[in-house]
Structure 1
Amino acid sequence: MQFTEKGLPGQINLFCRKAFIYLCSHYPIPMFSRLKKIPVPYVITVGFALFLRLLFEISMLSAVFSVMTISFFVLTPFAMGALTIYFSDIEDVKSLQFRITHPWRSVFIFMLATTALAIEGFLCWVMILPLFMLGSSIGALITGYFKLRGHPHNRIFVSLLTLLPLLITPLEKQLTRSPAVYKVYTYVDIQAAKETVWSHATSVSEISPAEHTGWLTNIIGIPRPVKAELNYAGIGAYRKGVFEGGLTFDETVTDYEPGRKMTFTIKANPYDIPASTMDEHIVIGGQYFDVLNSTFELEQMDNNIQRLHLYSNFQLTTTFNTYASWWAGWIMKDIQDNILHIIKGRAEHGNQI
């Protein structure tokens, strides 16, 4: 998933490219006579993983294979761990620590390669790295068990493990993907007049970089909000939510109670979102992820304290919604906290709307 080269994600992508170039220059692959200088498990394992990644992205095979499947995210690292241990020296395999952690090297090299080649971006790897590390260790432990016992059919067993992503993914693709809706809730207490808080919540003028507080979205490179100005107060009103990187949302007010509640739908046109901002796998409004609506509610607490609530509903349509919802919810919460603290700072310090 490619993001802009700005900030930490861009620096990490650049580092991965340089690291990959360094590895290639010190361990040239084209000459077969020099292959013995390259750790064989890494060459075979990473080569296999790259083959699967590219195969699963071919549009002509989209009815059969897809990267956005639990089969790919779990069985590919499972097979990588099996291959790493199968081609490792038996003396090394005797170590339990080696069997658990050594496959991670193949995973990290695969991460460097896909990032350097702009196949995947930093955000993708943030989300899938735990699955790859766990899956590769499990595959390695199972393969190591049979290898240490000198099982006569170990080669056949490993071959079957490497075929699992190719065999299981088409079956998973036939499953019906039921959309699941999840709610994210955040709030902030603001010491300011009710009217002041409400005006800042409903219409947000251009946000300066110094106002942002979202640490997670800043680290992983999610576009930050720029502005969202309301054309009038009432049902049917329109806001255009503008984010960095050319990301925009059409927001229509569906419920409005002055000074108390505002609900608005959120619609993104995925075809208008630049590829450098979000790729097709996580693009908002795409086939896997969408934000449906948001609600601001203002509650009088004590004296001059107002509690501003923010609810959002988002939809996931994958075969691994449980895992994806954990990440999506965490990111959405950070985005909402950022927006609420911008409103708090403006209301409490008298910033202009």
Structure 2
Amino acid sequence: MDNKKLITIIKIIAIPTAYALVLRTFFDVETWESLFKVMSISFLLCLPTIIGALTIYFSSLENAKSLPYKIFMPWVPVILFLLITLFFKIEGWACWLMVLPLFFVFASIGGLIGGYFKLKKADNKLYLPILTLIPLFISPLESLVNTIPGEYKAYTYIDINAPANKIWSNVTRVKNINQSQDKGYLTNFLGFPRPLKAELNYEGIGAYRAAVFTNGLVFHETVSEYIDQKKMVFSIKANPHEIPSTTLDEHVVIGGDFFDVLNGTYELEKLTENTYRLHLYSYFKLSTTFNFYASWWAKWIMKDIQNNILQINKSRSEAE
């Protein structure tokens, strides 16, 4: 490989990656966090688009004519950006997994945009500096639009072949959960804390229940409605200052600026003489300008946590 070709390859990959790192650093400066936020459409959609456009802009004219190249080549600097931010602990794995589909899609869109300008006969040098500055203009405008908190519901259930009193005792008092019993596949993959135990101090309205997870995460729950062996409604509060900074990524910390769990409900429904259906609802709040996307992930995560708890209840109740 000659030096000219090597320099071209470095340009294609290194310049878009360097731009991404500079923009990520700029958007993380506390001094102007009211105007520039990482958790914004300006960053999450514009950045990968520009990465894609830069990648194709510095590519050869021959490569810019290839549709697969314009779609997939921008993924290379995106992946490099991912690896660098993970290595230096700028971002967490959970955050990256959730935004990676967006980054791939919009990097490809940026690649198509870059290809269009690359193949134009007219001078296309002006569009490049304009494109790289777009996030700096859009983000302050986006900050003027206050985030509208959205409330969402995650619903799960499981059928259990056991008496009502056994099922309910495992609802009110969840004994220590071993790692082998933990079936929260998505949350484990994302590195979220796993449930350990939970127990009511008494059965009735006003009762307190601490749901303890690994890494110092605790849900403080207060019962607001209680019908023995039928229904329990409880508020949920996670205090961010109690959660060690290493437990969750700052952008997905529970009770933080963007995500909070509000309340939950257990309902026990009799199906047959020996079978009951245990329902588990939870309501949570998101405060971002892209709730339309974040809510999908939040629901999957909450359902994974709930299905895990329900499965543990089922195995314990039926075994007893």
TM-score (norm 1): 0.88
Letter in 2 for 1:103: P
Letter in 1 for 2:297: W
Counterpart pick for 2:62 among 85, 91, 109? 91
Specify the alignment match of 2:286 in structure 1.
316
Query: Does the 8 Å contact 2:95/2:249 carry over to 1?
Result: no
Taking the aligned partners of 1:170 and 1:155, their CA distance within structure 2 comes to: 26
- How do 1:184-333 and structure 2 match up within 5 A? 184-333=154-303
Specify the alignment match of 1:77 in structure 2.
48
Letter in 2 for 1:119: I
Gaps of 5+ in 1: 1-32
Query: Does the 8 Å contact 2:94/2:249 carry over to 1?
Result: no
Counterpart pick for 1:149 among 116, 120, 123? 120
**SS class of match (2:303):** helix
- The percentage of counterpart residues that share the same residue type is 53
Specify the alignment match of 1:124 in structure 2.
95
Q: CA deviation at 1:280?
A: 2.4
Taking the aligned partners of 2:30 and 2:120, their CA distance within structure 1 comes to: 43
**SS class of match (2:226):** strand
Letter in 1 for 2:272: D
Is residue 2:80 matched to residue 1:105?
A: no
Taking the aligned partners of 1:102 and 1:280, their CA distance within structure 2 comes to: 30
**SS class of match (1:155):** coil
Q: CA deviation at 1:37?
A: 8.1
Specify the alignment match of 1:135 in structure 2.
106
Letter in 1 for 2:278: L
Specify the alignment match of 1:22 in structure 2.
none
Taking the aligned partners of 1:52 and 1:275, their CA distance within structure 2 comes to: 24
Letter in 1 for 2:247: T
Query: Does the 8 Å contact 2:65/2:119 carry over to 1?
Result: yes
Is residue 2:150 matched to residue 1:180?
A: yes
Taking the aligned partners of 1:291 and 1:202, their CA distance within structure 2 comes to: 19
Residues 264-306 of structure 1: per-residue CA shift (max 9 Å, x gap)? 1111110111111113211111111000000000000012001
Letter in 1 for 2:71: I
Taking the aligned partners of 2:174 and 2:122, their CA distance within structure 1 comes to: 66
Residues 190-213 of structure 1: per-residue CA shift (max 9 Å, x gap)? 000011101101111111111111
Taking the aligned partners of 1:145 and 1:179, their CA distance within structure 2 comes to: 38
Query: Does the 8 Å contact 2:95/2:251 carry over to 1?
Result: no
Query: Does the 8 Å contact 1:86/1:144 carry over to 2?
Result: yes
Q: CA deviation at 1:254?
A: 0.5
Letter in 1 for 2:208: Y
Tell me which moved more, 36-45 or 336-345.
36-45
When the two structures are aligned, how many residues end up with a matched partner? 316
Taking the aligned partners of 1:41 and 1:151, their CA distance within structure 2 comes to: 22
Taking the aligned partners of 2:292 and 2:88, their CA distance within structure 1 comes to: 30
Query: Does the 8 Å contact 2:74/2:108 carry over to 1?
Result: yes
TM-score (norm 2): 0.96
- Give every structure 1 segment of 4 or more consecutive aligned residues whose post-TM-superposition deviation is greater than 4 Å: none
Specify the alignment match of 1:334 in structure 2.
304
Counterpart pick for 1:65 among 32, 36, 44? 36
Specify the alignment match of 1:15 in structure 2.
none
Specify the alignment match of 1:17 in structure 2.
none
Supply the RMSD in Å over aligned alpha carbons: 1.3
Letter in 2 for 1:111: L
Letter in 2 for 1:346: R
Gaps of 5+ in 2: none
